[in-house]
A and B are shown apart, each in its own frame.
Chain A
């Protein structure tokens, strides 16, 4: 048994011919790839390509119309609710209550995830996202950058092994962007498995170990970063999506 509590083969996440339909609209048309523990995959693509849908499917927020997702050798539909402690999701939405303080928000989510030593963990998280001095302030008074930093803290409160990020750099100021980059580098160094959807080619290339491009619901590019340099990648991206 692997650290996910499921049987592990060489791939931690395996996606096999994944399809998702919203009515007549086919958001994903048979996407397949696999990730090993400690991989950092950045997924690029134009708006409406199906990137966020892929993240929703991987984090079990919605069910596929076809195809399968495996964590280790176990299909996602056979995993229990406890499995959800293994991943954290950072979205372009903050997932925070704006009439509660930063501390109260983190405390609530820590309780839901069954975190032990809650006060200690909250202190740790607030230090990581550099919001200790604002812990008692209401979230509604936070800037976009501070909201996103607290949102990162919320997603990491239960120390997940897999992290899904949906456009995490959107609307961030330079300071918040630097903090996010630092946190992602630290998580990658700690062999967390990370899957990030982004429009930011330079940032995605800098941070990742694997790169993918989705266009109109199809994965048209998937490679190790070592196999393609940044100039090449930009050209490939432009030629594939334009």
Chain B
């Protein structure tokens, strides 16, 4: 088991080093997320009351679409030069390689969110600080679910010529429970509603994350086979 976690760690370490030198994944996600946040801010008239009903959806839209861009970029690093083949030739558990990649993508998305959320708060003037702890929990659970499933589908779609289209087509229908739960929970926090109403959404997010982590752990060898 120690070796398993060491492999996960080595993959994350390599991805962070790669990103530190190339800055491709985070920069592309950041620019796209910023564009979504800024462009959608033009919808609202200054002081519009209904913006808190929509803001969570816009935030998650920017996270999801920029995340898809980042997943494609991240997986291209493994395809260029045949690195994915080299990883699969290594004497390590293949699912450890997957979780290394998945957690790297999770970290890249978190870094992007840490930068984009303050900008989002400024543009939309939403009271995210009212329920900061629960907002962070929602972001962590939602981003993890998206990153893990997104990594799986990016591995499946990356060898396709139409990978930019293929990834969202495969991923978005499966990810609906994550997006729905995360938006509903964030809506409750941003509108200042009773926090207890968000628990069912957070539970759904948690269950989704656990179930898909276990399912991927079991099936990844078969998925990557051909």
Contacts and interface: CB of A to CB of B under 8 A. Distances in A.
Contacts of A84: 89-91
Scoring A63, A98, A113 by chain B CB atoms within 10 A of each residue's CB, the highest score goes to A98
A59 B10 CA distance: 23
A237 interface: no
B193 to A, nearest CB: 46
Contacts of B87: 112
Interface residues of B, number: 26
B18 to A, nearest CB: 5
B173 interface: no
Interface stretch (A38-46, A89-97, A191-199, A214-222): A89-97
A99 B76 CA distance: 12
A57 to B, nearest CB: 12
Contact of B14 (A60, A97, A98): A97
Contacts of B77: 97, 99
A138 B93 CA distance: 29
A4 B19 CA distance: 37
Contacts of B80: 98
Interface in A63-97: 63, 81-85, 89, 91, 93-97
B160 interface: no
- Main secondary structure on chain B at its contact with chain A? helix
Interface stretch (A8-16, A103-111, A124-132, A228-236): A103-111
Contacts of B81: 93-98
Interface string B8-34: 001000100110011010000000000
Contact of B85 (A95, A104, A114, A154): A95
Nearest to B7: A112
A172 B3 CA distance: 37
Contact of B91 (A63, A81, A99): A81
A141 interface: no
Interface size grouping (class) on chain A: 20 to 34
Contact of A62 (B6, B14, B93, B226): B226
A155 B134 CA distance: 48
A154 B82 CA distance: 13
A61 interface: yes
Interface string B60-95: 000000000000000001001111011111111100
Interface of A: 59-63, 81-85, 89, 91, 93-100, 104, 108-109, 111-114, 138, 154
Q: Lowest 7 CB-CB distances: which A-B pairs, in order?
A: A93-B82, A95-B86, A84-B91, A99-B22, A112-B90, A85-B91, A111-B10
Given A96-B81, A114-B91, 4 more contacts: A93-B81, A98-B80, A108-B14, A109-B86
23 contacts: A61-B85, A61-B88, A61-B89, A84-B90, A89-B86, A91-B82, A93-B85, A95-B81, A95-B83, A95-B86, A97-B14, A97-B83, A98-B81, A99-B18, A99-B22, A99-B24, A100-B14, A100-B18, A100-B21, A108-B10, A111-B10, A112-B87, A112-B92
